[in-house]
Amino acid sequence: MKIMALYDLLADRARWPELAQAAREHGVHGVVFAGNATRLSGLDEEARLKAYHEMLHWLGSLDLPVFFVPGVVDVPERAILQAAINHELVVPRVAIVHGMPAFLRGQYVVEGYGGRLTDEETRSDDELTYPLWRAEFALHELRRFDQLPLMVLHEGLETNPTAVHHLVKEIKPRVAIVGGVKPVNEWIGASLVVAPGR
């Protein structure tokens, strides 16, 4: 099965046609997006939500199953998550998997957690931040399914290697797609960890 992994689109529409072309040329079966759909700096809330809706519409236009988690700059949380759920009702092939499972061709169960993962119970209007324990609790659901687990994290091996290693070792997904500016393919135990880079 071929999966296209994306990270940090930051509403960069200039990249969208080449990414869509690559998906077609490589016969991709699904797309996994590890967050950061919008730019935080220089955009007010309305502009960020507009960019987020445009990105969701573009993902839907790929005509492929798409699974995504929000990134650290995809705020405000309630508005972003509501936009994602509303979009999923209209275009069910684009699924938010932030603490919720979805299925890829009956072979994989996909679930993830977005935002920055911390040891503290901090909340911010400027960043999407969650305590690590909350992500771990939600992702344990992956163990309940017979399908192969695919985990998606916005955090990456560059930004938070401790959290990524902990969750991969604890959940033991077949594949973990994580954030990260630099492309990475690495094994943690029996789990393949992939950072698509920018």
134 within 8 A of 102, measured Cβ to Cβ: no
Into how many domains does the chain fold?
Answer: 1
149 within 8 A of 104, measured Cβ to Cβ: no
Beta partners for residue 68, in sequence order: 33, 96
- Give the pLDDT of residue 63: 94
- Give the pLDDT of residue 41: 66
- 3 phi and psi, to 5 degrees? -120, 130
> Structural domain of residue 185, as residue ranges?
3-195
74 burial type by CB count under 10 A (0-12 exposed, 13-18 middle, 19+ buried):
buried
| CATH value at residue 85 | 3.60.21.10
- Give the pLDDT of residue 9: 84
Contacts 24+ apart (CB under 8 A), 23-27: 23/62, 23/64, 26/2, 27/2
Tokens of 22: 């690559």
Short-list 116, 120, 119, CA closest to 69: 116
Is the pTM here over 0.75, yes or no? yes
Residues of the chain with confidence (pLDDT) below 50: none
Instruction: Give Cα 39 distance to the centre of its chain.
Output: 16
User: Per-residue pLDDT tens for 131-160?
Assistant: 999 999 999 999 999 999 999 999 999 999
48 within 8 A of 75, measured Cβ to Cβ: yes
> What is the C-alpha separation between 105 and 1, in angstroms, rounded?
9
- Give the pLDDT of residue 143: 92
- Give the pLDDT of residue 188: 97
